[in-house]
Chains A and B, each alone.
Chain A
Amino acid sequence: MTQPIKFYQTGTFTVGNRLLPPEQRSVQSSIARDNSLNSGHRACQGCGEALGARYAVDAAMRATNGRLIAANATGCLEVFSTPYPESSWQLPWLHSLFGNAAAVGSGIAAALRVKARKAGQAESSTRVIAQGGDGGTTDIGFGCLSGMFERNDDVLYICYDNEGYMNTGVQRSSATPPTARTATTMPLGPEPGEAFGQGKDLPLIAMAHEIPYVATATVADLRDLEAKVEKAMSLHGARYLHVFVPCPLGWGSASCDTIKLARLVRETGLFPVFEAEHGQITDVTTIRRRIPVEEYLRPQKRFAHLFGDPGRPDLIARLQAGADRNIERFGLLGPQTSEESS
């Protein structure tokens, strides 16, 4: 792998890069970033969701010149950011119920459209996002979200996926991965932790609605996440962004390992990072340095029962098979030459 033409020491791997021209630098590297979710919030130390939300909403703020309204589902993000009488948000932000964030977003978008029309404009210059955790998205708010997709309402829905109901005490959600320990999937019996099943892959379900834009991202790859938010905001209609955000509390990981885990999950293939338009995958972020799933699982206490003596190598092998399937299915190793694949 050589980069003979453009070489910037850290390329776009780091948040900023003094060697890049200013227009190519990330939103987060700027002193002028919005800090839409500001200091003082009560998220745990090392919260991936707090980080992911600031990354995504700041990028959306830049893309819309600060003309942005957010609807928020109930969940960690809502609870830690707005405990009465304080708010950490620096944009118009609205919380209604656990399950209706997508519907509230649709409503705001409809109201803005009416206001624009009455003012004699073709469309409103103010844009709408709706956001929630995996519980509020894949379980409780799923009906409203599917409706928003089906009607192609002009809302970007952002799901911050930490794979469980963390705020209420770490219960399982339909985004919890197989074998993971939660308060409701204890590591007991022949199949400890969350059962193997079909799961609920919301990015693929969103794609099945053939909406204009669906993408996945992680908090470990800021530049990719910002580019996807910017792309989403350049489009109209229903858009969906699924962001992988580690949770030190619910996963039993060190607070300093949040970004590391998000980096590792992509390198295993367990979480494919891609973009799709109108139901078709248009781009895939390839794995840079492939690693076995153990490297990702081992630092998390929710998978501790898979390791040790005797451990459950059979279950690790099943998880690895799932990662391998993703790699195959999404082409996560990039275009293979015949020499490499033979």
Chain B
Amino acid sequence: MKKPFAITLDPDSALANKTGAWRTERPVYVDRLPPCNRECPAGEDIQGWLYHAEGGDYEAAWRHLTRDNPFPAIMGRVCYHTCESVCNRAKLDSAVGINSVEGFLGDEALRCGWRFEPPAQESGYRVLVIGAGPSGLSAAYQLRQLGHAVTVLEAGPMPGGMMRFGIPKYRLSRDVLDAEVQRIADMGVTFRYNEKASDLAEAMRDEKAHACFLAIGAHIAKRAYIPAKDSARILDAVSVLRSMEEGEKPLLGRKVAVYGGGNTAIDVARTARRLGATDAVIVYRRNRERMPAHDFELEEALEEGVMVKWLSTITSADEGKLTIEKMELDANGHPQPTGEYETLDADSLVLALGQDIDMSLLETVSDLTFEDGRVEVDPHTMMTGHPGLFAGGDMSPGERNVTVAIGQAKKAARHMDAWLRGVNLGPKPEKAVADFERLNTWYYSDAPKTIRPKLDAVRRTSSFDEVQGALTEDTALFEARRCLSCGNCFECDNCYGVCPDNAVIKLGPGKGFQINLDYCKGCGICVEECPCGAIDMVPEES
């Protein structure tokens, strides 16, 4: 078509004008590390699995989650969810209920029968795992996924370790525990129960194992010297909780005193209430602020009628009663005796003063060092001084809880795999953290946290039913969608929409976006309006 001069212009002819030349800075898409992921002792990609859950694809969420942790249903019940204490959403309204969504996914997996895929290829290596507690099971799972032949030796009659013999039923249903362990066995992991390894070197020779992961739990109760008459009934927390699982229920009487201030002391007191004790009294030598037990556990115990005698030590035990000395805290916060005494009626006294580990099987192993009753490991690889021997869980340094144990085992498995294959992994690259300050929180809908139901207090003292209820699908979906997706694109299309120059290319679902540098003028609106802070502005090289 012949057009009159300077009157008619071709549509879109301005594409010839490459306005990208104006730019002094360019937007770059980044993935930052959300604070929850950084905090998780098991190294879960929480933001990553919540992304799938937000869309209602629970199986994808569960598969993503179980890359790092094979026990979401257990986690939903016993994990102390430190992730939630650093959640950026807490600065808006309240933290995302990560733990409750995790529990929902775990339950959903059990309900639907989702299973782990066996490894695509066998590595040819044989590995031995000592102990079927959380750490040993996590290692077995990870090592099996990597294609190794795994045998787990367990001294006890059943798997679970402290998850079975330490954590009471009202916090973790045994059906859930059994089902999540069975899924690991179904991958082709061999379990041998009632088999206590007394000599590790011999066990490794017998099993023709190329490497070993040690995960012996802390099952020996610490004692304290308390002058006692023969008729005084004194038990320890480990054996009380263990006997709840095996054979006879412990005979504690109607008035039970528990000595100690940790989570185990609380578990015993709550168990005693459920066994029919009218009085369950925790005797602790410091005050509530200094108690090592988690505050929510203490709160739940108090709701159930458990009582606490603060600032008290037990000086002697007699039939039916204890003598207690009042304490006071000195300037350094240490308890000091006051010389004031009182008596406390108690049919039995349970000592919950901490636990030790039986390390006798390691006597024949060279190059090991011990500190404070634990075996020393390289913190980057979890390998002990003996090549090919790794350790995790209660027997390695660090906080003692289920999630920590699972994370240590994951790390150990990764490095054991590298060690077996003769590969040097090197340090993991650290990603920058997705701070709250980088978020544009305007874009998120207002949505307060969903609270999980709790069992009625009456039933809590009369049964061992789980106290903590679960989310329904509706509430789990709601809770997942409260995630801000800190530092990771969730395809909200803001960058694509807000560009005045149409210089952001949308690649389609799951593929994200790309900057069209031919036309991007570097105004920075996309960076400013990204809700989750997943775009950086980077100076152009001149």
Which of A82-90, A104-112, A317-325 interfaces with chain B? A82-90
- Known contacts: A38-B14, A85-B9. The answer to whether A16 contacts B492 by CB under 8 A is yes
* A48 at the binding interface (Cβ < 8 Å): yes
Cβ B494 vs Cβ A14 within 8 A: yes
The verdict on A259 contacting B498 (CB below 8 Å), with A39-B518, A85-B9 known, is: yes
A14 with B521: CB separation less than 8 A:
no
Quick check: A29 and B16 within 8 Å, CB to CB?
no
Q: Are the CB atoms of B55 and A1 closer together than 8 Å?
A: no
**B500 and A26 contacting across the interface, CB-CB below 8 Å:** no
How many residues of chain A get a CB closer than 8 Å to chain B's CBs?
56
Q: Which of A3, A7, A38, A260 contacts B502 (CB 8 A)?
A: A38
Picked from A14, A40, A46, A90, the residue with its CB within 8 Å of the CB of B523 is A46
Q: Is the CB of B524 within 8 A of A86?
A: no
A39 to B447, CA, bound (A): 38
Whether A256 sits at the interface, judged by CB under 8 Å, is yes
Inter-chain CA distance A263–B54, complex, in Å, is: 27
Within B16-43, the residues touching A (CB, 8 Å) are 16-19, 22
Query: Which residue on chain B has the smallest CB distance to residue A85?
Result: B9
* B297 within 8 A of partner (CB): no
B497 contact from A29, A258, A260, Cβ within 8 A? A29
Q: How far is the CA of A51 from the CA of B442 in the complex (A)?
A: 20
Q: Chain A at the B interface: mostly helix, strand, loop or mixed?
A: loop
Judge whether A39 and B498 touch: CB under 8 Å: no
Alpha-carbon separation in the docked complex, A31 to B504 (Å) = 11
Cβ contact within 8 Å between B529 and A259: yes
Q: Mark B261-282, 1 if CB is under 8 A from A, else 0.
A: 0000000000000000000000
B103 proximal to A (CB < 8 A): no
Question: What's the Cα separation between A2 and B524 when bound, in Å?
Answer: 33
Determine if A170 is an interface residue (Cβ-Cβ < 8 Å). Answer: no
Which of B168-176, B410-418, B475-483 forms contacts with chain A?
B475-483
Q: Could you say which of A43, A47, A83, A86 has the most chain B C-beta atoms within 10 Å of its C-beta? A: A86
B9 and A11 within 8 A (CB): no
In the complex the two chains form, is B13's CB within 8 Å of A86's CB?
A: yes
**Bound-complex Cα distance A165 to B50 (A):** 49
Cβ-based interface call for A186 (8 A): no
The chain A residue with its CB closest to the CB of B482 is A9
Report the bound CA distance from A152 to B527 in whole Å.
43
Q: Give the shortest distance, in Å, between B251 (CB) and chain A (any CB).
A: 49
Interface of B is mostly: loop
**Given A13-B445, A15-B492, A18-B491, residue A40 in contact with residue B15 (CB < 8 A):** yes
Given contacts A85-B13, A256-B523, A256-B525, contact A2 B448 (CB under 8 A): yes
Report chain A residues within 8 Å CB of B448. 2
In the complex, A260→B477 CA distance in Å?
A: 30
Contact status of A8 and B493, CB under 8 A, knowing A18-B55, A84-B9, A256-B524? no
Q: Which residues of B contact A148 (CB under 8 A)?
A: none
For B23, the closest partner residue in chain A by CB is A45
B9 x A87 contact (CB < 8 A): yes
Chain A residues in 8 Å Cβ range of B477: 7
Flag whether B226 is at the interface (Cβ < 8 A). no
CB < 8 Å neighbour of B503 from A16, A39, A83: A39
- How many angstroms between the C-alpha atoms of A183 and B136 in the bound complex? 75
A-B contact count (CB 8 A): 173
Pick the residue among B14, B442, B493 that contacts A40 (CB under 8 A): B14
Beta-carbon nearest neighbor of B529 in chain A? A259
Q: Which residues of B contact A282 (CB under 8 A)?
A: none
CA distance A9 to B500 in the complex (A): 25
Task: Give B463-487 as 1s and 0s: 1 = Cβ < 8 Å from A's Cβ atoms.
Answer: 0000000000000011001110000
Q: Pick the residue among B12, B54, B55, B527 that contacts A90 (CB under 8 A).
A: B12
Q: A4 to B496: give the CA distance in the assembly, Å.
A: 29
Q: Which residue of A lies closest to B507 (CB)?
A: A31
Chain B contacts for A45, CB-based, 8 A: 22, 521-524
Q: Is the CB of B19 within 8 A of A42?
A: yes
B224: chain A residues at CB < 8 Å are none
Contact B523 A7 (CB under 8 A): no
B11 contacts across to A, CB distance below 8 A: 87, 89-91
Whole-angstrom CA separation of A47 from B19 in the bound complex? 13
* B82 CB–A CB distance under 8 Å: no
Q: Which of A245-261 contact B (CB under 8 A)?
A: 248, 254-260
- Is B493 a contact of A7 with CB atoms below 8 Å? no
B481 touches A54 (CB 8 A): no
A74 within 8 A of B: no
- CB-nearest residue of chain B to A17: B492
**In the complex the two chains form, what is the Cα distance from A227 to B174 in whole Å?**
54
CB distance from A132 to the nearest CB of B (A): 18
Shortest Cβ distance from A45 into B: residue: B523
CB pair B531–A257 under 8 Å, yes or no, is no
B6 to chain A, nearest CB (A): 6
Contact B16 A16 (CB under 8 A): no
Min distance, Cβ B253 to any Cβ of chain A, angstroms: 48
- Min C-beta distance of A290 to chain B, whole Å: 14
Chain B residues with CB under 8 Å of A41's CB are 14, 17, 19, 501
Q: How far is the CB of A68 from chain B (nearest CB, A)?
A: 13
- Are A15's CB and B497's CB within 8 A? yes
A residues near B (Cβ < 8 Å) are 1-4, 7-11, 13-19, 26, 28-29, 31, 35, 37-43, 45-48, 50-51, 54, 81-91, 222, 248, 254-260, 263
Chain B residues with a Cβ under 8 A of chain A: 6, 9-19, 22, 54-55, 442-448, 477-478, 481-483, 490-494, 496-503, 506, 508-509, 516, 518-519, 521-525, 527-529, 531, 537
Given contacts A51-B525, A85-B9, 9 further A-B contacts (CB under 8 A): A9-B54, A10-B492, A29-B497, A39-B502, A39-B503, A42-B14, A46-B500, A86-B16, A256-B524
